Structure 1
């Protein structure tokens, strides 16, 4: 277990219809997100995490704090794990993007890996910064690590580690509060599991308290 990295997506946030492109907007967890993180803590809270790291955005830090039981001030912020920079698309609905940037959404679909939103970054650039960050964290083998990031970041990282083209990264599921398990082996980071829920984690975690048993 010492060589494991638990890479999570943060819990749920508010993004009511019409859903908007959200990258670096610093939104907190909503009530569902808090519940998801607390539920996950029931399964992961007893793990002896040597380090607990997160993207600097509040939804990631809050998730890391709730899952680990540590105060937010104790969570290590890793700037290179911040969500994709959506530039001028940030906060816009799809309809607004199509009006303000005609043809750009279609262009994005034709080259998802390399397409860069106006003033933003591409998924290839996300992978280029996030993968080395995780590799650097993986050098600490003194205990399991908890890392909380974002859907775009996690999909880009998992695509690279699985040897899959970034053009297909949207096919990699990343639910709110999803758990991905990475193993630091002699050949580098390897993917052991993707998009797990807490009760599906393939390791012995916290036992339910007496009052929780059916």
Structure 2
């Protein structure tokens, strides 16, 4: 099945290893392992995407570069699609820092988009950055008319960030709600795959290693909550 929007989490970074809240652009680079993950992801794609985009963060650009090398599809940077901004907590590390962030992040998934990271963003502000860009990609590449006009139809790949991907999917797609969206994190280079529906919504057909129905699932081994 082609004609999907595939949100790809970047490869492992030095910040992931150190458990840092690393959200400012450009941010930290990929580790050697992260580069290998990105290279393997690009080489594992079963079909060539119709378009490839990434956030301006260094880790996303590097990951997209490996996908570009494997597929021949040029990577384009989309501004304002960086990770959820940690604000005053930028650079914090460890369990206490992550729990501080998670209190706000869980509130967003539960519908309190007014909650705000100190010195950072509210849920409303994150979605205001992302949703118009997602809609533009849909209109340009994923409507029936756009797909019919493509000589080689394919998926649209957007290399992005763990917390942002989960929040955006929570608000775009039916059938993905908390606690599933807060308990099931994405590992590096895992994906969320979205199929556009006729009513303007999206259907989530993959969340990491999981496929519908998305009910109470065993959570992944805990990793960094964002990046």
**TM range, smaller chain:** 0.7 to 0.9
**Which residue in 2 is equivalent to 1:43?**
44
Q: Retained in 1: the 8 A contact 2:43–2:71?
A: no
Query: What RMSD, in angstroms, separates the aligned Cα atoms of the two structures?
Result: 3.3
The match for 1:151 among 162, 169, 182 is 162
**Which residue in 1 is equivalent to 2:216?**
none
Task: Give the TM-score taking structure 2 as reference length.
Answer: 0.71
For 1:16-165, list aligned pairs within 5 A. Answer: 19-25=19-25, 26-44=27-45, 47-69=47-69, 74-93=74-93, 108=104, 111-112=107-108, 113-139=113-139, 140-141=141-142, 142=150, 143=153, 144-163=155-174, 164=176
Q: Retained in 2: the 8 A contact 1:21–1:86?
A: yes
CA distance in 2, matches of 1:122, 1:77: 24
CA distance in 2, matches of 1:111, 1:49: 35
Task: Give the TM-score taking structure 1 as reference length.
Answer: 0.75
Q: Retained in 1: the 8 A contact 2:51–2:73?
A: no
Q: Unaligned regions of 5+ residues in structure 1, if any?
A: 99-103, 201-214
Secondary structure of 1:80's counterpart equals coil
CA gap 1:51/1:119 in 2 versus in 1, 3 angstroms: same
Secondary structure of 2:41's counterpart equals helix
CA gap 1:28/1:165 in 2 versus in 1, 3 angstroms: same
Secondary structure of 2:128's counterpart equals helix
Secondary structure of 1:111's counterpart equals helix
Query: 1:130-170 CA distances to partner (integer Å, 9 max, x unpaired)?
Result: 12311210121343211100011101111112345578742
CA distance in 1, matches of 2:24, 2:171: 22
**Which residue in 2 is equivalent to 1:185?**
197
Pair member with larger Rg? 1
**Which residue in 1 is equivalent to 2:221?**
none
Q: Retained in 2: the 8 A contact 1:83–1:149?
A: yes
Q: Retained in 1: the 8 A contact 2:10–2:60?
A: yes
CA distance in 2, matches of 1:106, 1:176: 19
Single out whichever of 17-26 and 161-170 deviates more from structure 2: 161-170
Residue 92 (structure 1) shift: 1.6
Equivalent residues, number: 193
